[in-house]
Amino acid sequence: MNPSMVITEAPGLFTADGLTGLIFLVMMAVTLTGGIIACCAERLIRAIAGLIVCFIGVAALYYFLNSPFVAMMQMLIYVGAICITIAFAIMLAAPEESRKKGPAGPLSGPLGFISAGLVTFGLIAMAMRTTFTSYPKINNGTVEEIGIAFLTSHSMVFELISIVLLIAIIGALVIAHTGRSK
Amino acid sequence: MSLLTLYNNLNTFLYLAALLFGMGVYGLMTHRTLIGMLISSELILAAASINFMAFNRFTAPDPATGQVFTLFIMAIAAAEAAIGLSIVIAVYRNYKSVDTEDLVDLKG
């Protein structure tokens, strides 16, 4: 997937480009299905399973966007760490038997649907009406370029993010520890 | 524009990210529990990351910048999940519930 490669004519289904497009369509469907399960499931454990499916699809989309490194990080961090952490929290703190049924309020279902639909419609309409200009690439965006960008032009943010992660770990320990003595 | 060349189109990714964002907003408003809201906010973050990556692939001159942004979003999401889940555990210890309707101690 060379960034400069632009396909103009429609490829046949059983050529390499056609199969690539087919895999992309399948992965798009996987992402959307996972998202629908994650936002609509009644049981939390099903929602987290849908979130895992959605994130696997998103990792495949990153691969299609010429970023295999970010796709790998998506699998490692989101699927492997964040979703598993949320699954542990569900097992620790969400007993299914005490769960009340139904939506969060009398109006939250329809109103939530309307507002989410408005936001989605606005974003799609804005993307449709805008023409984005594309600029020539100055490098290939490989892992080496990402590393150079991390340690030169984004080094300040890189250091700050490590401090943020350290404070988050300490804060999580403190918050989870305080209620334990009761 | 054939259906099989959709992956070479910026708008495909923008529509997909908009749909994921809408799902996240819907889940954030309808989920009853704090953990469900956290799951929906992860969907919103994923939509933002897809937008960054799509613009990085199709328009940006330096293709490393968007990937760096997405990696930073992942680090922030990991920190947010850790803090949020420890808050959920602390709330569960105090109230024996993570339902948003049970957390009404400040309600007069």
ipTM of the complex: 0.90
Instruction: Convert the pLDDT of each residue in A10-52 to its tens digit.
Output: 677 778 778 888 898 999 999 999 999 998 888 888 999 999 9
Structure-block tokens of residue A104: 């969060």
Mean pLDDT of B50-74: 90
| CA within 13 Å, CB half, A91 | 6
- Nearest-5° angle of CA B75, CA B58, CA A154? 35
% of chain A exceeding 90 in pLDDT: 34
Shortest Cα–Cα distance, B44 to chain A (Å):
10
B72 pLDDT above the threshold of 70: yes
Q: Where are the domains of chain B?
A: 7-95
> How much is the mean pLDDT over chain A?
83
Model confidence over A59-79: pLDDT tens digits? 999 999 888 999 999 999 999
Mark yes or no for CB contact A85/B56 under 8 Å: no
Q: What is the CATH number of domain B7-95?
A: 1.10.287.3510
Read off the pLDDT of each residue in A97-102 and give the average, rounded to a whole number. 54
Q: Which residues of B touch A108 (CB under 8 A)?
A: 29-30
Residue B80 exposed, middle or buried by CB count within 10 Å (0-12, 13-18, 19+)? middle
Provide the CATH number for the domain formed by A1-97 in this structure: 1.20.120.1200
Domain ranges of chain A: 1-97, 139-182
Tokens representing A83 are 């979703």
Contacts with B75 from chain A: Cβ below 8 Å: 161, 164-165
* Angle between helical axes of B10-30 and A108-129 (0-180°, round to 10): 160
Compare all CA atoms of chain B with the CA of A24 and give the residue at the minimum distance. B7
pLDDT tens string B3-46: 777 778 888 899 999 999 999 999 888 887 888 888 999 999 99
